[in-house]
Amino acid sequence: MNKVIHDRAVCKAFAKIEMLQTSTIRDQYDLRLKNYGGDISLDQFMLIVESNKTELKVWQYIAELIEKSNKITII
């Protein structure tokens, strides 16, 4: 695999993970304060929270695959 592409993929995955971790922390804070924003209900907000958690797991898995592919390429 092209090293430049690999490095960009790593950076993109870890940036996305960082952003989603921040969103998850903010979601927990907003939930505690009952600050769901504007016109959405608690149920709708919980859908957003669960979606962010799932998205975080997906990107963590993608990052893991990228790291594993790097180890295979080096060997």
User: What confidence tens digit (pLDDT) does each residue in 14-70 have?
Assistant: 999 999 999 999 999 999 998 987 789 999 999 999 999 999 999 999 999 998 887
- Residue 30 has a pLDDT of 94
Q: For the chain, how many structural domains are there in total?
A: 1
Q: Please return the burial class of 59, using the count of CB atoms within 10 Å of its CB with bins 0-12, 13-18 and 19+.
A: buried
Each residue of 21-39: b (16+ CB within 10 Å) or e?
eebeeebeeeeeeeebeee
Distance, CA of 69 to chain centre: 20
- Residue 72 has a pLDDT of 56
> Which range marks the domain in which residue 41 is found?
3-74
